[in-house]
Structure 1
Amino acid sequence: MKPTIDELRQLIKDYTAKFSAIPESEFSVKPLPHKWSKKEVVGHLIDSAHNNLRRFICGQYEPFPPHIVYHQDFWVYANAYGHAPQEDVIVLWKLINHQLCTVLETMPAENYGRQCNTSKDGTQLRTLEWLAQDYVKHMKHHLNQIFPGSFEIAYT
């Protein structure tokens, strides 16, 4: 888990400043009415962190794999990131990801293999370790949307 945590910490360090350097007009513009702005993409990463925090915490103590599903479009809409101040979105992204690192750092190694159900139909079990690694890949995928070519990664 340490390499995953270290990589996440580096992403937080590198991209907090990069987000702040984007002019508000560029950060907030939607490329198409049905597509997220860069600010909403960062908001999506905040929401993903919220859901994964719950998975990483509940997955360690619940007797059965918790069923924690993330409906991304609704979360981004409900949190209204497109209308939030740019700096608030950036600070929230930074802080929630630092908290995610803290939870992963304090997780006993024997819990890495515990599972969480993440699918809408209730059939997809993933280990907490897999979810942590996938979270970093997912973040890189979306960072590539904001800063094209930052990472060579295929994420599906």
Structure 2
Amino acid sequence: MKTVALELQQIVNLFADRLTHIPDAEFSAKPLPHKWSKKEVLGHLIDSGHNNLRRFICGQYESIPPQILYDQNFWVAVNNYQASKKEDVIILWKLMNERICGVLLSMPEDKYTLECNTGRDIAELHSLEWLAVDYVRHLKHHLNQIIPGSF
């Protein structure tokens, strides 16, 4: 878990700066009306971070694996990242991920195998360690969409 947290921190440190260099027009441009802009993709990563932070925390203390669901399109629409200032979205993304790093770094090893349910209709149980590794993989995938060739 510590390795995952350190990798996440390195990514955040590097990309918080890189993201600021994307021109506002490019950051807000929607490739198609129903597709997310780069700003909305980063907003999605904030929302994903929020939901995973809850998983990393609740999964440590709840006696039954918590069911924490995430409707990504709803979250991005309700948060209206498209209308937000670019700088605010970048800062929120950075802070959310720094908080996740803090939680992962302080998590006792005996909690790594505890599970969280991410499924709607049927249980999709994943260990907290699996969720952390998957979170970083997911983050890289979307950062690669924002800045192609990054990973």
> TM above 0.5, one fold?
yes
- 1:45 corresponds to: 45
Inter-partner Cα distance in structure 1 for 2:117 and 2:73: 19
Written as runs of structure 1 = structure 2, the 5 A alignment for 1:1-150 is: 1-150=1-150
Inter-partner Cα distance in structure 1 for 2:122 and 2:97: 26
The offset of 1:121, in angstroms, is: 1.5
Question: Is contact 1:49–1:97 with CA below 8 Å preserved after alignment?
Answer: yes
Please give the per-residue CA displacement for 1:23-53, whole angstroms capped at 9, x wherever unaligned.
1110001000010000000000000000001
- Give the CA RMSD over aligned residues: 0.6
* AA in 2 matched with 1:39: K
Runs of 4+ in structure 1 over 6 Å off: none
Inter-partner Cα distance in structure 2 for 1:67 and 1:32: 33
Inter-partner Cα distance in structure 1 for 2:116 and 2:65: 5
Matched pairs, number: 151
- 1:154 corresponds to: none
Please give the per-residue CA displacement for 1:110-155, whole angstroms capped at 9, x wherever unaligned.
000000000121310000000000000000000110111211xxxx
Question: Is contact 1:67–1:122 with CA below 8 Å preserved after alignment?
Answer: no
TM-score (norm: length of structure 2) = 0.99
SS at match of 1:116: strand
Inter-partner Cα distance in structure 1 for 2:114 and 2:3: 19
TM-score (norm: length of structure 1) = 0.95
Percent of residue pairs bearing the same amino acid type: 60
SS at match of 2:113: coil
SS at match of 2:69: coil
SS at match of 2:126: strand
